[in-house]
């Protein structure tokens, strides 16, 4: 019952915001901005630039809010806008390279990985990945995009997307294990 009320309240709020009601827009912003900024932060290392990307995403969302038909979740619609905006920002900021070089990783180091890791450390390791690896990994492993969707959004082949993901996984596991070795003195903690 509560869920239904919340849903209808959201619909009314979205409808008002679509009619350019600034108060309704402000409430939607307050509700969704923290989550959206976190999503933008996956892709953009600098928090100020990530916020800039998020504001651009909200601006486009509010301007085109009439095209949202309440068929899916509003948050999902907003997330897709943020991802596209982040990709667009990274394209403008610097050339996104999809590295093809092989990374030598000890297979023993990637089998049992310590997952009880703080969010800041995870973000730090993701930030250290090459741009191509990072984008494909975040889109696939965190956002849940399929390879063909990633290929379409990034203008690459599906094979490139798969290879980038494979290499991103290897490198990320290696980095996390290395971090665990330094901080905990062990790499034997199973997940």
Partner 1 sequence: MVQMKWEDNIRETLENRTIKPSATSWDTLAGQLDAADKKKSKTMYWWIGIAASVVAILFTVNVFFNGNSTESQSPVIVNTQEQVDEYNIPTERLPVEEQIATTQQDDEMLQPVDKNTAEKELLKNQNDLTPPINKYSSVAKIEKEITEPLDTNLQKEILEDKKVSEIVAQIQDLKSKGQTVTDADIDALLAQAQKEIRFQTMAQGGTLTVDANALLQDVESDLQQSFRNKIFEALKNSYETVKTAVAERNN
**Nearer residue to partner 1 within complex by CB, 4 or 191:** 191
Query: Nearer Cβ to partner 1, position 1 or 174?
Result: 174
Minimal distance in Å, beta carbon 53 to partner 1? 11
- Is the separation of the CB atoms in 42 and 142 below 8 Å? yes
| Residues at the contact surface with partner 1, assessed by CB under 8 A | 20, 22, 25-26, 29-30, 33-35, 37-38, 41-42, 47, 50-51, 54-55, 58-59, 62-63, 113, 115, 117, 119, 122-123, 141-142, 162, 165, 169, 173, 176, 191
CA angle 55, 61, 62 (to 5 degrees): 90
Smallest distance from partner 1 to CB 76, Å: 13
CB 40, min distance to partner 1, A? 9
Closest approach of Cβ 94 to partner 1, in Å? 23
Q: Which is nearer to partner 1, 52 or 131 (CB)?
A: 52
Minimum CB separation of residue 25 from partner 1 in Å reads 7
Closest separation in Å from C-beta 51 to partner 1: 6
Q: What is the dihedral of CA 166, 172, 177, 178, to 10 degrees?
A: 120
Alpha helices by DSSP H, the chain: 2-18, 22-43, 47-63, 74-93, 107-111, 119-128, 131-137, 147-154, 158-184
Query: How many whole angstroms separate alpha carbon 186 and alpha carbon 191?
Result: 13
- Give the span between the Cα atoms of 181 and 148, in whole angstroms: 36
For residues 45 and 169, which CB has a smaller minimum distance to partner 1 in the complex? Answer: 169
Distances (CA, A) of 53 to 45, 91, 143: 11, 12, 17
Closest to partner 1 by CB, 130 or 169: 169
**Closest listed residue to residue 140, CA positions, set 176, 97, 169:** 169
- Decide whether 22 or 91 has the Cβ nearer to partner 1: 22
């Amino acid at each position: 019952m509560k869920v239904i009320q919340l849903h209808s309240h959201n619909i009314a709020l979205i409808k008002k915001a679509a009619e350019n009601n600034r108060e309704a827009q402000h409430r939607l912003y307050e509700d969704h901005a923290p989550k959206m900024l976190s999503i933008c932060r996956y892709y953009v290392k600098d928090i100020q630039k990530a916020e800039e990307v998020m504001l651009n995403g909200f601006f486009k969302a509010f301007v085109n809010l009439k095209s949202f038909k309440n068929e899916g979740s509003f948050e999902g619609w907003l997330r897709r806008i943020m991802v596209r905006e982040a990709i667009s920002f990274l394209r403008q900021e610097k050339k996104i390279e999809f590295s093809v070089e092989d990374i030598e990783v000890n297979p023993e180091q990637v089998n049992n990985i310590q997952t009880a890791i703080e969010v800041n450390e995870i973000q730090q390791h993701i930030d250290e990945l090459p741009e191509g690896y990072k984008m494909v990994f975040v889109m696939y492993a965190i956002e849940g995009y399929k390879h063909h969707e990633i290929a379409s959004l990034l203008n690459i082949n599906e094979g490139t997307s798969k290879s980038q993901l494979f290499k991103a996984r290897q490198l990320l596991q290696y980095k996390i294990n290395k971090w665990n070795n330094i901080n905990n003195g062990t790499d034997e903690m199973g997940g």
